[in-house]
Chains A and B, each alone.
Chain A
Amino acid sequence: MMSKTTTALATLAALGALSGAAQAEIRLGVSVSATGPAAFLGDPEAKTIEMLVEQLNEAGGINGEEIALTLYDDGGDPNKARTFATRLVEDDEVVAILGGSTTGTTMSILSVAEDEGIPFISLAGAISIVDPVRANVFKTPHTDRMACEKIFTDMQAQGITKIGMISGTDGFGASMQAQCKEVAGDHGIEILADETYGPQDADMTPQLTRIRNTDGVQAVLNPGFGQGPAIVTRNVAQLGFEIPLYQSHGVASDAFIELAGAEAAEGLRLPGTALLIADKLAEDDPQYKVVTAYTEAYKAKYDQDVSTFGGYAHDAFALIVDAITRAGDSEDPQAIRDALEATSGLVGTTGTYSFSPEDHLGLDLSAFRMLEIKDGDWLPVE
């Protein structure tokens, strides 16, 4: 019986160690996938938010109150994400949650946020997060559907009507693959070949050979993130494709050009955000200030290039800071939610956000810019 008591005590001690909510002024909760298969998304997101909180607190916080950040790494596991969301709400007593790097983790956090009435800004792409609109759930990234539409519009302008697709089977690739197939018809695009590859695959020449041997394919589209698109780009060059290659916003980062090789990536197009062409923006561009400030600070602090995903976190943080400032009461989640929904014309790295009771995404297609790789650098296509 002795051992049983010890067990119980040990369990209690472990549980006790879990508590200890921060005592600072504004409690902000974050759960992102800083490790695991979605670390490519979550790592820059976590770094961005940590950096921005530090900056804000050094500058005096919001209306004199500092932000106390509680950041958890859910490892891309929706089950963990839900536990952390519960912990953020019940134990850390945060007034708002940012995060949910993937659609799966977002959906898990979302139900907790809805149940408890805590505003939540998601960093994931799927349209189902904000459609139908849920009272407490917002998101910063474009939907994958918008990326597809941007790409297809550009293809139409080039006179391309028949394409082959090769998509990653990770959440990002699969979601975009499905949404592109849905909207292709609206743009008069026919998908003749539809191939996939696993997120850790080393060689995609078999799939690409199939696409090449499909009659009439005029362009290749590769939705995916991580190493897959870099390998696809190299394989396309290896096989000597003479048709254009389109990538997705999932690889919109300078590091991608390095990995794929400037030569192989030459002429490739993708829908990206202003982040990638920070150095080429006109000074009167509405995004100039926010984009340069973020890219320079991030590069200086972490010695890494910014990515679209870090930009999503940047915008989510900007939105919540703006909302808390306007809400006047940093203790009341409901007031913050109301202020968030009233956001109008907030300029972020991804685009300009204006929420309404009917629209919790608040971006339009103009936020995407079509970019092309020329001589190892991004150039806007106009």
Chain B
Amino acid sequence: MDALLQFLFSGLTVGAVYALVALGFTIIYNASDVVNFAQGEFVMLGGMITVFAFEAGLPLPLAALLAILATSAIGVGLNKLAIEPARGAPVVSLIIITIGASIVIRGATQLIFDKQLHRFPSFSGDDPIHVLGATILPQSLWVIGGALAVFVGLWVFFTRTLTGKAVLATANNRVAAQLVGINTGWVMTLSFGLSAAIGAFAGVLVTPITLVGYDVGVALALKGFAAAMLGGMGNPKGALVGGLLLGCFEALTAGYLSSQYKEAVAFIVILGVLFVMPQGLFGRKSTERV
């Protein structure tokens, strides 16, 4: 029993990381139908910039804020320089553009910073909290809490605010959105900035647990992408549930079956879900028109 709880704690921690990445995917996808494979690099940047600002003498909260703002600016830059000029390109071109952008960001990071692994202290110490024979680190609670907070924030944003509805309207039909007076260019800028900020926020939260280096983004982007597709692309609820489910699948497989094939099981589950529900768990249905 304590073993099961330990596996779930692990799964929720890792799953919350995936969920944070997946939530970042959601915003950009909602605004532009683009899946941004550079999303993992935002997480990496959040961690790396915080590390170097912190080591340069800034207090941790300030370093984190700086990292989130800087990454957000990079996200806006990515939109202006790479995504907007390629508007209307087919899916496969957009995948290559965002993967190309992620290579650029990685290449620049290893030049500006370094290729070493880094870490900064946990927010609330490293003493594990004991629950019914299992343990969880305070930092894990920060990560899980962070994922929930971002989810709630996005949900409120998309359903309760005019700007959020404008984002959804843009995704739904760009031309119609423009006709009713929505500044779709601004919506795109906002989405990339917000998404990058969320990614960097995730990086700040997880670095004390997972460590950060210039190349941690690729794996995160893949897992976050898988989580988002599992939940159904474009839906914050899907991103959260997809991320947490993926994390728990991995942890439970590692705990009960085989640690070698834990990722395999996760992907098999995703494939299985997509066969039954081609739009993911919470995805919107779409019909093709001629």
Contact = CB atoms under 8 A, between A and B. Distances in A.
B178 interface: no
A230 B255 contact: no
Contact of B13 (A202, A234, A240, A258): A202
B254 A202 contact: no
Nearest to B217: A200
A195 B10 CA distance: 16
Interface string B194-228: 00000000000010011101011001100000000
A169 B115 CA distance: 21
B80 interface: no
Interface string A287-323: 0000000000000000010000000000000000000
A203 B14 contact: yes
A261 B110 contact: no
B interface residue count range (under 10 / 10 to 19 / 20 to 34 / 35 or more): 35 or more
Contact of A206 (B6, B116, B220): B6
Contacts of A227: 117, 210-211, 213, 216
Task: Determine which residue in A40, A196, A206, A263 has the highest number of CB atoms from chain B within 10 A of its CB, and name it.
Answer: A206
Give the interface SS of chain B, mostly helix, strand, loop or mixed. Answer: helix
B126 A263 contact: yes
B135 to A, nearest CB: 5
Contact of B255 (A198, A206, A258): A206
Given A196-B260, A202-B206, A35 B115 contact: yes
Contacts of A34: 115
A19 interface: no
Interface in B117-144: 117-119, 126, 128, 135, 137
Nearest to A303: B114
B112 to A, nearest CB: 15
Nearest to A39: B115
A43 B113 CA distance: 14
A31 B216 CA distance: 24
B206 to A, nearest CB: 7
A200 B116 contact: no
Given A203-B14, A238-B135, A255-B117, A230 B211 contact: yes
A78 interface: no
Contacts of B33: none
Given A202-B206, A203-B14, A263-B126, A209 B3 contact: yes
A239 B114 CA distance: 32
Contacts of A201: 14
A207 B110 contact: no
Interface in A195-246: 195-198, 200-203, 205-207, 209-210, 213, 226-227, 230-231, 234, 237-240
Task: Determine which residue in B114, B135, B251, B254 has the highest number of CB atoms from chain A within 10 A of its CB, and name it.
Answer: B254
Contacts of B116: 255, 304
B17 interface: yes
Contacts, number: 96
B217 to A, nearest CB: 10
B9 interface: yes
Contacts of B263: 198
B172 interface: no
Interface string B144-176: 000000000000000000000000000000000
A226 B259 contact: no
A240 B137 CA distance: 12
Task: Determine which residue in A169, A231, A238 has the highest number of CB atoms from chain B within 10 A of its CB, and name it.
Answer: A238
A192 interface: no
A206 B7 contact: yes
A268 interface: no
Interface in A247-277: 255, 258-259, 261, 263-264
A39 B114 CA distance: 11
Contacts of A226: 117
A231 B206 CA distance: 12
Contact of B209 (A35, A202, A210): A202
A197 B119 CA distance: 20
Nearest to A42: B115
A207 B110 CA distance: 32
20 contacts: A40-B117, A195-B259, A196-B260, A198-B263, A200-B219, A201-B14, A202-B14, A203-B209, A203-B210, A203-B251, A206-B251, A206-B252, A206-B255, A206-B259, A210-B255, A210-B259, A227-B213, A231-B209, A237-B126, A238-B128
Interface of A: 34-37, 39-40, 43, 169, 195-198, 200-203, 205-207, 209-210, 213, 226-227, 230-231, 234, 237-240, 255, 258-259, 261, 263-264, 304
Interface of B: 3, 6-7, 9-11, 13-14, 17, 110, 114-119, 126, 128, 135, 137, 206, 209-211, 213, 215-216, 219-220, 251-252, 254-255, 259-260, 262-263
Given A196-B260, A239-B135, 5 more contacts: A34-B115, A35-B115, A226-B117, A227-B216, A230-B119
